[in-house]
Amino acid sequence: MNLPSTKPYLIRAIYEWCSDCGYTPLVSVKVNNEMNLPSNSISNGEIIFNIHPNAVHNLVIGNDIISFSARFEGIAREIDFPTDSVKGIFAREVNQGLAFPETFVENEKVHQKTNNDNKTEDSVRLDKEKQTRKDKTTLRLIK
């Protein structure tokens, strides 16, 4: 069974937290050649968008695509990019939020690809466990 990615849910959660606290949510996006984004705002293959309700209109944080309209140098533009390309979301004022490692997207794509290769569920699960053991951080409960 293909489970949906947790990434869009986490992005929405941090966005809501920023809004509730009165912070400015910024989203960092890894840019590729297929995206139609303002090129003068791209630095080192990355662009950072202010997605505060006063800065954008019609913001939609979907499971696959994030879209909104905003002004860049006085020109209104429709912006959309895949949720997978988000590197992180954080509050400008306190610099807190979530950063997504590059492996977050790669692990999910590998998992989806292995499911499409007609492998058994057990071999897919084992492959995924091997990948996540390499990149996974662990949490400990301290009482």
Tokens coding 116:
């499409």
What percent of the chain is modeled with pLDDT above 70?
71
Q: What is the pLDDT of residues 75-126, one digit of tens each?
A: 889 999 999 999 999 999 999 999 998 754 444 454 444 444 544 454 555 5
- Confidence category of residue 69, pLDDT binned at 50, 70, 90: very high
Determine the residue type at 84: D
Predicted pLDDT of residue 115: 47
DSSP 86-128: EEEEEETTTTEEEE--HHHHHHHHHHHHHHHTT--HHHHHHHH
Q: Provide the residue ranges of all domains of the chain, joining segments of one domain with +.
A: 7-100, 103-135
Assigned CATH for 7-100: 2.30.30.220
